[in-house]
């Protein structure tokens, strides 16, 4: 089995988000970047399946050289080798084309991703890659098991889940509770240094979307406190002032 795991490089979940003065880009000063938390589920599950069934796990990131520490981290967690497509990931379709091109070259059986990136919240790269390759995408999956050539997945739908079986190559986007994401151990960190990391140049068509401006949400007015003794007054305020009940 050949697994391709796509990882995105995102600001740590505790980051206070600010933008450059022209509001055109994230202000990266002082921001700690991590592997997108959902992608850790994809990575760990791929490693678990490889340990069970044999094979190879490749991680792929579309990003500039500053993402390499997190690619090395993925290698330390247990991926065998890595590909970095050397480009600024400025649009989901652009990213999807790079992943699809690499997947075609490498002949992967399963392409694993996270359910969404926690920075741009697109929820879209997996569907685009499936379509570009003409194979099914199962998104978002809470469970992934393999038996011979058939995969059994649980796909979350609003209000429930579907049990889906697919055979042949497919794309899956991962979320909890698929597995317990692993952290690197000392041996992993040592061996990661010498694992192959190939850098390739981007291909494909131009992006079809352009971000023109970022903005922070309007500031809250400040909290209105109601004394606990007269808690019932809150309900009156919710009806008469906030008009939400």
Ligand X SMILES: Cc1cc2nc3c(=O)[nH]c(=O)nc-3n(C[C@H](O)[C@H](O)[C@H](O)COP(=O)(O)OP(=O)(O)OC[C@H]3O[C@@H](n4cnc5c(N)ncnc54)[C@H](O)[C@@H]3O)c2cc1C
Query: Contact residues for ligand X (CB under 6 A)?
Result: 6-8, 13, 25, 36-39, 60-63, 88-92, 95, 113-114, 116-117, 120-126, 209-211
Could you tell which of ligand X, other proteins, none binds residue 181, using a CB distance below 5 to 8 A set by kind?
none
What gap in Å lies between CA 169 and CA 107, rounded to an integer? Answer: 9
Are residues 62 and 39 in contact, defined by beta-carbon separation less than 8 angstroms?
A: no
Tell the residue number behind the tokens 């919710």, with chain if given: 238
Are residues 9 and 61 in contact, defined by beta-carbon separation less than 8 angstroms?
A: yes
Q: What residues have CB less than 8 Å from 115, skipping those under 6 apart?
A: 38, 123, 139, 140, 173, 174, 175
Select 75 or 92, whichever has its Cβ closest to ligand X: 92
Could you tell which of ligand X, other proteins, none binds residue 90, using a CB distance below 5 to 8 A set by kind?
ligand X
Select 65 or 163, whichever has its Cβ closest to other proteins: 163
Q: Is 46 helix (H, G, I), strand (E, B) or coil?
A: helix
Select 103 or 187, whichever has its Cβ closest to ligand X: 103
CB of 97: closest distance to ligand X in angstroms?
Answer: 11
Q: How far is CA 18 from the centre of its chain?
A: 21
Tokens of 73: 């981290």
Could you tell which of ligand X, other proteins, none binds residue 197, using a CB distance below 5 to 8 A set by kind?
none
CB of 175: closest distance to other proteins in angstroms?
Answer: 8
CB of 113: closest distance to other proteins in angstroms?
Answer: 11
What gap in Å lies between CA 202 and CA 102, rounded to an integer? Answer: 10
Could you tell which of other proteins, ligand X, none binds residue 245, using a CB distance below 5 to 8 A set by kind?
other proteins
Task: Respond yes or no on whether the N-terminal peptide bond of residue 140 is cis (omega within 30° of 0).
Answer: yes
**Residue 128 phi, psi (nearest 5):** -65, -40
CB of 243: closest distance to ligand X in angstroms?
Answer: 26
CB of 130: closest distance to other proteins in angstroms?
Answer: 7
């Amino acid at each position: 089995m050949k697994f391709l795991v796509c990882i995105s490089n995102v600001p740590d979940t505790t980051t206070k988000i600010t933008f450059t003065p022209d509001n055109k880009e994230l202000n990266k000063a002082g921001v700690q970047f991590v592997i997108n938390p959902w992608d850790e589920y994809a990575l760990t599950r791929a490693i678990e399946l490889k340990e069970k069934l044999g094979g190879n796990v490749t991680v792929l990131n579309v990003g500039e050289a500053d993402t390499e520490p997190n690619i090395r981290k993925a290698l330390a967690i247990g991926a065998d080798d890595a590909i970095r497509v050397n480009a600024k990931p400025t649009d989901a379709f652009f990213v999807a084309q790079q992943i699809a091109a690499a997947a075609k070259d490498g002949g992967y059986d399963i392409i694993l991703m996270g359910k969404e990136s926690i920075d741009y919240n697109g929820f879209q790269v997996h569907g685009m890659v499936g379509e570009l390759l003409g194979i099914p995408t199962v998104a978002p999956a809470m469970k992934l098991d393999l038996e011979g050539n058939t995969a059994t997945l649980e796909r979350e739908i609003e209000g429930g889940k579907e049990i889906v079986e697919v055979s042949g190559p497919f794309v899956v986007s991962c979320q909890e509770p698929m597995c317990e994401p692993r952290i690197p151990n000392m041996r992993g960190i040592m061996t990661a240094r010498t694992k192959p990391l190939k850098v390739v140049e981007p291909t494909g068509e131009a992006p079809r979307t352009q971000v023109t401006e970022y903005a922070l949400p309007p500031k809250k007015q400040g909290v209105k406190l109601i004394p606990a003794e007269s808690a019932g007054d809150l309900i009156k305020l919710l009806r008469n002032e906030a008009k939400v009940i």
